[in-house]
Amino acid sequence: MSNNNKKKGTGKALKVQVDGKYYPSLFAAAIEIGCNYSWLWCKLQCGETKIYGKTIKLVTKEEKNMATTITITNGKGGTGKTSLCVFLAEYLYSKGFKTLVIDLDPNCSISEVYGFVLKEHNSKAFMQGIPTTPYTAKTHENATLDIIPSDLNLGMLANISDTKIKIQLKKQNLLQKYDFVLIDPPGTWNSQTRNAIYAADSIVVCGKCSPLDFEATKNYVVLLSECGLDDNTEFCVVCNAYNAQKDPDKILEKYRDTFKNYLLDNPIPELTSLKRLAYDPAYKIRADIIEKLTQFVQAATKGQVQ
């Protein structure tokens, strides 16, 4: 689990390419080539290489044109994660990106925002491995904003693999179809939330500036640190809906002292516009308001969008 505020490298290795064919791991590539795994790894540290007449290289997500998966989360409800997810989806769409939203909350909050509820193609079916066609909420020119809505009975899938979403995103070719996949999990720790976490390339933990949200966020970050997340998964914390006049206990300072470099420098202010957008995604947010959310956008998208 890495920090969005730290200096980034040149890219995260996703697969191995052997003469143009992709393999899911170094081990699989080594078997195909007929060489030792450790030796192959050492050779690839110098970049593209040739072994037994085959051209081999590590391939990053950016090179393979695969979507970046973003999960906005907290172990507590009411932290504003769905509002931020709607904003980010709308912002990416406005910038011309192909964006998919996956609602994993049985409350169906973001599904209601876009008017897709009680649908046959939903995240419950998706998590069960059933071929699922996303619904198109908006489209213009090359940009699309699609959604896989939730299901009221999604919480019934209690005994399911924590990597089901990650597997289905690949299996159903959704990572190749979209630029960004945004996941909105429930505000609790269950199989849906764990699926959202393990599928993510970027995790944003948002908590409001209150004693309760601070404690919930602190506990949640500890929980995430024990999940064995991939080192390539970027992670940050954002203080949401901040109002200095409503912070007599100096909760923002506690966020800063606790999360240090993992905390975005600028808290997201308390914005009526975000609340309105969560009810009406057609609502146009002013440019000066969007500017206050720039650091959040940059962190969530791993610096791919300004």
Rg of the chain on CA atoms, in Å: 20
Distances (CA, A) of 184 to 12, 81, 197, 297: 24, 7, 10, 16
Distance CA 118, CA 86 (A): 19
Q: Which regions of the chain are under pLDDT 50?
A: 5-13
Say what the pLDDT of residue 250 is: 95
Look at residue 306 in the predicted model and tell me its pLDDT: 73
Closest CA to 182 of 126, 106, 122, 102: 102
Write out pLDDT tens, residues 146-171: 999 999 999 999 889 999 999 999 99
Residue-level pLDDT at 154: 96
Q: Which residues share a beta bridge with 203? A: 71, 235
Q: CB burial class (10 A; 0-12, 13-18, 19+) of residue 214? A: buried
Q: Which residues in 237-260 are b (16+ Cβ under 10 Å) and which e?
A: bbbbbbeeeebeeebbebbeeebe
**Per-residue pLDDT, 121:** 98
Pairing of strands 202-208, 68-73: parallel
DSSP assignment of 57-119: EEEETTTTT-PEEEEEE-SSSSSSHHHHHHHHHHHHHHTT-EEEEEE--TT-HHHHHTT--S-
Measuring CA to CA, which residue among 292, 302, 277 is closest to residue 85?
277
Place of tokens 């800063």: 256
DSSP-based three-state secondary structure for 55: strand
For the stretch 198-238, pLDDT in tens is: 999 999 999 999 999 999 999 999 999 999 988 789 999 99
d(CA 102, CA 11): 25
- Per DSSP, the three-state class of 21 is strand
